Structures are given as C-alpha cells and as structure tokens.
Amino acid sequence: MIDRLPAPEIAGVVIPWFTPADRPGPDRLSETAGLVEALGCELGFLRPDHVRDVNPSYLLSGGLLDRMAGDIEAHNCTLAVIDGSLTPVQQRNLEKRLGVKVIDRTGLILEIFGLRARTKEGRLQVELARILYERSRLVRTWTHLERQRGGGGFLSGPGESQLEADRRMLDEKILRLRRDLEDVKRTREVQRAGRRRSGKPVVALVGYTNAGKSSLFNRLTGADVLAKDMPFATLDPTIRRLDLPTLGEAALIDTVGFITDLPTHLIDSFQATLEESLQADLLVHVRDRASASDLDQADDVMQVLERLESESGLPLPPMIEVWNKMDLLPPERAASLEALAAYGAEPPAVAVSALTGAGIDALLALIEAALLRGRTAYIFRLPPEQGRARAWLHQHGEVTSETTGEDGAVELGVRLSAERAGQFRAEFPGVDGEVVKG
C-alpha cells in the first residue's frame, strides 16, 4: 500500500490508448480524475496518450516517457498513475525512471478500496484482493530479493529462495483470509435464511460506480449512507427497510459499484458480498442516463453479473432499471426517456432523480409490480376454526380481498410466491386454495 504522508500525494496520471476505438472520452477522463480524488490525492496533471509502439520495458515509448518524466518533475508529483495495465517489470522500470511510486489501474482501485473498507468483512476482502494482486506480481521485482543466492546449484538465479519464502508467506495469508471469509459467507447465508423465513422480499441495488445508488438508497429508506459524487463512496453492503405501497416491508440492499476493468482480484475477493445481489428477489439496475458512457457502463455491469452467475451457479434474479439523474438532462431528452420508460422499455424501467425525488413513487410501484409478477393468486375459504391459517396468510402473503360470510367463514384473495405456497401447504396440510386463472 502507499505510504501516506501528512501532506496529500500529488498524482500525475496518464491514460494510455492504442486504437481509435479505445481513445478515452470526457467521461473516462472525469472517471479517472474521480478515482484520484477518491484516493485523497491532488491531481497534478491528467492526459490521454496515444501509444503507437508499445515498449515492453516501460509500456510508454521514448517520447511519451520523457514527457511524463518532465511533467512529474514540473508538478512536484509524488505518485504516477498509469490508468491501464502494467506488467511487474514495467512498473519497476517506470519507478526507476520517474523516481516516484507508480501504480496501474488495478493498484489504484485496490488503494481506494483499502481506504473505503470500514467493517471487518470489508477489510478482509480488501486484504485478500491486495495479497492476490501482490502474489501475481512476484516476478523478481523486489530489490531485496537479490541479497541472497537461492537454490543448490550454480545456475540458480539471485533471490530465488527469498522469492519462494515470500510466495509461501503470501499463500499462508491467502488461506487464512479465505477461511475467515468462509465464516462471513456462512453468516450471510444464515441472515438470508432468516429474511426468507420472515417473508420479506429482498431488493438489491446494482450499477456502475457513481450512478447514484447510495443517493437513491437514502431517498427510498431514509438512511444516511455516504453518498458522494466520487467512485466507490459505498464499499460495505448496507441493508435497510423499504416500505412498499401494498406489500409492506421489504429489505433493500445497497452494493458496491462496478467499474470498467474491475480487477479480477476484487471480484474474487468480494464474491461473498456480491452474491447478495444474486440471492435477492429483484435486482434494481441504477443507470446514470446523464452520462455519455451510459450504454458502455451498463454493459460493464452486466458482464460482472453474468460472471458472478457463471461462477456461483446462482441464476440472475428478475431485473428492472432505474434511469437516474433526469434532473441533469435537457428537458426534451428527459421527456423522451420518460416516455420510453412508460411505454415498454425492456427490461422494465422508470425515470427518476434521486436528488430531487422525482419519479420515486413510480419506482416503488414498479418494484412492487416486479415482485408480484412471480406470485400466484389464490382464493382460500377458511372456516372460523382456521384463524391461525388466516393470520399466516396475512403475515406472509399479499391479501387482495377479504369477505366474511354469515356462517363466520372467511374468503381470502391472496398472492403467494411458489416458496410461500409450499410453506403454507406444509404448515396447513388440510387447507387448500383455489388458483385464480388469468
């Protein structure tokens, strides 16, 4: 991790691009600046550089490297960021050439996660991701490895025994952290089972970092989760009560944001947390429709979700979209998106502003409709002695109608999920309901 000084680090940033298709636009520049800010650094300079000839030793070719070295010195930078991927050798050579600490995109995001982790679980996940990253870079890049000659033969290279010792030390740490995270996973499974038994539906917010998930979470639940205009303001998942118009209480989960080229180590380490999304009854994909990169960001989110689906074996829950930040769009564009959302977007969508509260009632109605879509309507005719069954249906189902006959029997119209219907049959084997057709 970076040694932090009382004075903030000054970062010089270069975004390398190689073909016209990956040339960074204003949104990418803004995102990178936000990442540097999220790390608590001052931005000395930020620019994209077209790398025509990749230098295997430095990534950047001679003229670009000389220019970066000059800018590092001119802006008194103490940190150099290459917003791309560096090999261990390239990182080491750049540090020698530039005379400052050098990190790539993965290292930058890991540093931010290290700052943002507040809970024990979050710190465990970040530490595992950091060690996995370090272990992947143990390719004779540490200067102290040359202090001893390893192996038994004269052909052994310098530092090989130290390399092996370091690798074993990291492997032991990885095993210990994975065991601790397995305990976290078991705890989460117990908590999820408790929520399932309570009958409360679970709704998870997912989306690109800085799309406004935490602001929307606060708007929907009245919580005070940190919601800042910077990447990864939220790291540890938060669960709060959500009140729906007719279904009543539900659980709403705010999750960590996704980002382009989200490091593999982070996905692996945060799998226990990210699986909260796959265990939900409904995913709410929050999109920043004011961003010029909205479509690319949505694709990045879906790629991470599909990878989680593949690796965990859990199917993706039903999904709706929230088109956020309508207040930042020109009125004509906002009206066009609102009309598109209202008349058949797929997946179903609603246009909102988490900042102003516009569209929140429509969002609650859409969440409820999506949750009910997987439920079956029943008619139960209960004699007076079946008061306990009536109370169970009121607690665990959505009662749509209720009438009492002259003989005291109650006729209930109820919507139940398949899981709830099975639980009811097990609890009250002699009580049958009639499925409502259509």
What are the tens digits of pLDDT across the range 170-208? 888 888 888 887 887 777 666 666 655 556 788 999 999
Dist. CA 196–CA 380, nearest whole Å: 23
| Sheet-wide strand order for 202-207 | 238-244, 248-254, 202-207, 282-288, 319-324, 349-351
Determine the pLDDT at residue 138: 67
Q: What is the pLDDT of residues 387-417, one digit of tens each?
A: 888 888 887 777 888 898 888 888 988 888 7
Q: What is the pLDDT of residues 303-352, one digit of tens each?
A: 988 888 888 777 888 899 999 999 999 999 999 999 999 887 788 999 99
SS3 content of the chain, % helix, strand, coil (to 5): 45, 20, 30
Q: Where are the alpha helices (DSSP H) in 209-319?
A: 213-221, 264-269, 271-278, 294-312
Dist. CA 86–CA 135, nearest whole Å: 15
Which of 229, 199, 190 minimizes the C-alpha distance to 212?
229
Res 147 pLDDT > 80: no
**Long-range contact list for 195-201, CB < 8 A, 24+ apart?**
195/251, 196/419, 199/395, 199/396, 199/397, 199/420, 200/249, 200/250, 200/251, 201/247, 201/250, 201/251, 201/281, 201/282, 201/371
Q: Which fold has domain 375-435?
A: Alpha-Beta Plaits (3.30.70)
Decide if domain 200-372 falls under CATH 3.40.50.10070: no
Which of 197, 192, 268 minimizes the C-alpha distance to 423?
197
* Orientation angle between helical segments 294-312 and 271-278, nearest 10 degrees: 100
Dist. CA 343–CA 405, nearest whole Å: 42
What CATH class does 10-113 carry?
alpha beta
Determine the pLDDT at residue 230: 55
Res 163 pLDDT > 50: yes
